[in-house]
Structure 1
Amino acid sequence: MKDLNLIGIFKDKLTLSKLTFLTNSPLHIAVLRTTTHSPSSPPTHHHLTTLLSLGDSSRATASILTTALINRLHRTTNPYVALKSLFTIHHIIKHGPFILKDQLSVFISSTNIGRNHFKLNNFNECKSATTWMLSAWVRWYASYIENILHTSKNMSFVISSLSLTFLEREKQQEMISSYINFDLIKDFASLTRVIEEMCKVPDNILVENDRLLKCIMEALVNDYLSIVNEIVVRVVELKERVSLLSFNDSVELSNELNRLMSCKEKSLQLFCVRKQKESVDTLWEMVEELNGEIGMVSFSKQLGRKSCNGTESARFGDRVLRTGDSVKFASGRLRLK
């Protein structure tokens, strides 16, 4: 394993030497420095900041940098390089300038391969037990980031970005209140899928001694808190509309609430967070309450229908002839003798 790491580090130095002669070398060098072969060491804050700064100069440079980063991800067989490439993409999504995020969106739009945008479903390095376990992390992390990009595109904002200001939150709540029920439930379902994807994180037996995996988990915690806030805003709005939901909307929403509740135990194990713990606890309480309210409203509506049906049946029964009832006929010819 050590020999492989040394070979990887040597390859990085050799590539850096070659890049000094290229026109766009600063961009490629920035990508290489954030995605080195060095095991366990995450990209430094300095290198990440430099990369974001270079990618913010023009649309052309942002495109070149994004392409270089994706190519680095596709061509490597080293799980550390793949994880660092994905971590860098994740960092761009969360902290990058609009122009870089936009180029990632362009990449997603230009791939016609379903949701497997990074083409890492079959990534597997079996040279050691460690690389085999890290390969599982690569496959999961790629799927998670694809989910983030796909969901953000559908919802028209980056769901894992930094916390919104008070004014931005007020504007968002006003916008959400104007959604029709179908779109509101669709948003809720999309956010639930992100939580589900988070909970598929591989066994964290390596996390304790691996700084890169620790950084990935820290990024995941921040995403979790951000998404919890997004879900809470929508649950508050849905609670206001419970009595107005159609039967089909109620059934679909109840299914999505149950899917989210199935993630509760795993998410609480993964994200033992102190900051914003109140909002996390509030989420699960509100989800249970909303599901209960949907059940009560649906039961009341069904009871109301049965009551109406019973009344109609009674009225109809009054109009049905019973044995022994006398009947008057207008025609005397039909009079019984």
Structure 2
Amino acid sequence: MPSRKKLRALAGILKDRASLTKASVSARRPVSTVNVAVLRATTHKSTSAPPEYRVAAVLLLNEDFPLICVDSLVARLHKTTNAFVALKCLFSLHNIILQDWSLPREDGEGSAVGGHNELNVRTFDDRFDAESAEYSSWVRWYAEVLEENVAASRNLGCRLFYRRASKEDELRVRGSFDEDLIRELGALASLLERLASAPGSLHLQRNELVYEIVASVCQDYRVIRRETTLRVEELSRRAEGMKPRELSCFMAELERVGGCEERLVAIFANKANNDGLWEEIARTTRRVSTLIQERSRASWVPRLTLLD
């Protein structure tokens, strides 16, 4: 008798065939063309990452029909109850963002990520078996990382997805006010905390799809670390001239970032943790702590006791 997993895989293949047939005969072009490409990139058939040529086909269509591609992927994501299909949808969306994604407008219009139409899979739960439930936690984490990244990118006014460093990054930081840099550091701390909240089932990275997802997120993580380092170094140079409240806020954000170190090292190993950020955080935290203590002692005034 076929196992439950084989029966589920067969049912998934049949669903995909039916969906492909429906999309192929639709007269709504280019929607049907996009839907077919999306279905082929997010099939039930395999638990592996979608073939590069399938993702490339979606990316090619995205150049001409970006909103249609994103809407199709999000619709597929919301409809499925299969963790692997959901992960493939998110992986394809991530690739679209990496390809060409201008920051969403403040009102979120036209954005499926970070606006009013969020990915909205916080309650996603594939209950087929215990393993599917574990993979579901990766679906929720991956979606939240993408959402948090877009929100932080909007906050900082620059993309925190994979890209090369530029001189403009340094100039933008040097020209910012202290309070703005501290606020931006807070947004980066929130994003690092989200990354650090990855599921405890790190052994699932042996699955090709999860491995590819973590590798892709790791590329973004390098950019996030670089932007964090720029702000920490710049604020450290200004620390002595900061107001007491600003110094305390700076200290709080340093502690938040530093608190992510152990977990992020476990998730990304040595792939992106050797750029000196953690050493800079520890060094700056000690320095700022000393400044706060010195100012506290300087502002202390002994109480005079009146003698009879």
Alpha-carbon distance in 2 for matches of 1:190, 1:70:
25
How far apart in 1 are the matches of 2:296 and 2:197? 38
Which residue of structure 1 lines up, in the alignment, with residue 280 of structure 2?
286
* CA–CA distance in structure 1, aligned partners of residues 41 and 85 of structure 2: 9
Structure 1 CA distance for aligned equivalents of residues 181 and 152 of structure 2: 14
Tell me which residue corresponds to 1:64: 68
2:130 aligns to what?
129
1-structure distance, mates of 2:59, 2:254: 38
Q: 1:270 to 1:172 in 2, by over 3 A?
A: same
Counterpart position of 1:234: 231
Cα distance 1:4–1:191, how it changes in 2: closer, same or farther (>3 A)? same
Match of 1:90 in 2: 94
Provide the rounded CA distance (Å) in 2 between the counterparts of 1:101 and 1:88.
18
Alignment pair present for 1:106 and 2:111? yes
Shift of 1:110: 4.9
Cα distance in 2 for residues equivalent to 1:303 and 1:14: 74
Q: Which residue of 1 aligns with 2:164?
A: 163
The alpha carbon displacement at 1:100 in A equals 9.9
1:1-337 counterparts in 2 under 5 A? Answer: 1-22=5-26, 23-24=29-30, 25-57=32-64, 61-94=65-98, 96-98=99-101, 106-108=111-113, 110-111=115-116, 117-164=118-165, 168=166, 170-202=167-199, 203-208=201-206, 210-274=207-271, 277-279=273-275, 282-306=276-300, 309=301
| Separation in structure 1 between the aligned mates of residue 250 and residue 231 of structure 2, nearest angstrom | 12
Aligned equivalents of 1:138 and 1:284: distance in 2? 28
Measured against aligned partners, the alpha-carbon deviations of 1:208-230 in whole angstroms (never above 9, x if no partner) come to 2x111111111122222221111
Measured against aligned partners, the alpha-carbon deviations of 1:68-97 in whole angstroms (never above 9, x if no partner) come to 111111111111111111111112222x22
Note if contact 1:124-1:135 (Cα within 8 Å) is conserved in structure 2.
yes
CA contact (8 A) 2:265 2:273 kept: no
**Computing the radius of gyration over CA atoms, which structure comes out larger, 1 or 2?**
1
Tell me, yes or no, if the aligned pair for 2:16 and 2:43 is still in contact at 8 Å.
yes
TM-score by length of 1: 0.81
Unaligned runs of 5+ in 2: none
State the percentage of identical aligned residues.
Answer: 26
**2: CA distance between counterparts of 1:127 and 1:191?**
36
Counterpart residue identity of residue 299, structure 2: R
Separation in structure 1 between the aligned mates of residue 15 and residue 103 of structure 2, nearest angstrom: 27
Displacement, 1:99? Answer: 6.3
TM-score of the superposition, structure 2-length normalised? 0.89
| Distance in 1 between residues matched to 2:83 and 2:274, nearest whole Å | 37
Between the aligned partners of 1:104 and 1:211, the Cα distance in structure 2 is 34
Distance 1:29 1:244 in 2: 59
Higher helix share: 1
Cα distance change, pair 250–105 in 1 and its aligned pair in 2 (3 A): farther
> Cα RMSD over matched residues?
2.4
Match of 1:291, as an amino acid? Answer: T
Worse-superposed segment, 70-79 or 196-205: 196-205
- In 1: Cα distance, 2:110 partner to 2:186 partner: 21
- Deviation of 1:290 after TM superposition, in Å, equals 1.0
Rounded Cα–Cα distance in structure 2 between residues aligned with 1:48 and 1:106: 20
Q: Distance in 2 between matches of 1:174 and 1:211?
A: 39
C-alpha contact (below 8 Å) 1:159/1:226 kept by paired residues: yes
Deviations 1:173-224 (A, max 9, x none): 111111111110111111111111111111123222x111111111122222
Q: CA contact under 8 A between 1:55 and 1:100: conserved in structure 2? A: no
Unaligned runs of 5+ in 1: 324-337
